[in-house]
Amino acid sequence: MLQGPYGDPDQGRLLIRLPFKIFAVVTVLLPATGFIACIIVSLIYHYEDTTFFFQVSNYLPSISSSVAHVPERYIWRVCIGLHSAPRYLMSFAYFSFYRGRFSGRERLLSGLALLCSLAENTGLLLLTYVSSKENHRFHDNGFRVFAGSSLVHMLITCRLWYVIKRSFESEDVSYRRKLRLFVLNAACCLASCLLYKRHNDRCEPGVYTLFAFIEYLMVFSNIAFHFTAFWDFGSKELIVATPLIRH
């Protein structure tokens, strides 16, 4: 005869135990390898379609054009779709971590960091699943949400880790990594906007190529910033277990 609620005799049994370092590496590798694969496939099979703009010389596809064709579009969508759930989970993991350390203004900032992190991931999903060729307006709005919330999230995170490292000197390395990656990402974001404007205003050869390259740096600096969780939670584990039911 089956015993207990739902016939489960193994209440509290461990189902999955995954080191957070593995969880972080897999989460980061999905967008990184997917993006590199899309760039390579675009250059090999869709070079003219992704690099020809306004009859000027160009040698690299932009992010939007490199994920707009088939099979690049599906490679990118699969990688971003698979990595989105762990990213949402990581947002709440950081929020829980901050709540255990902060009170007052910093706790409010940790809540804002959570909202920005969720908006960043949602914006990324929007610009991923709605390509610029399908609906340019939605794609552009998704990019704006992603880029804006990403920068605000990085800035708030650096502020929170500055407070943390003042009390825990061991966290100084994590803070410095985050700060450098934030500065790099912000600089790339500004440079890409200036280069894109110059390209549209003057149509000079090579400017769009430089714009695309800066876009790549912006993507990888964003990925690297989130990868700092590898060190922040390196000693932790992701555990799934059946709940203990107390009578």
Residue-wise pLDDT for 163-211, tens only, equals 998 887 667 899 999 999 999 999 999 999 999 899 888 888 889 999 9
Q: For the chain, give every domain's residue range.
A: 18-50+58-234
**Per-residue model confidence (pLDDT) at position 3:** 46
Distances (CA, A) of 151 to 92, 104, 117, 184, 191: 18, 23, 10, 11, 14
pLDDT class of 4 with cuts at 50, 70, 90: very low
Q: Flag the least confident range among 54-68, 155-169, 187-201, 215-229.
A: 54-68
pLDDT at 70 over 70: yes
Q: What pLDDT was estimated at residue 95?
A: 96
More confident residue, 145 or 133: 145
- Cβ–Cβ under 8 Å, residues 217 and 224: no
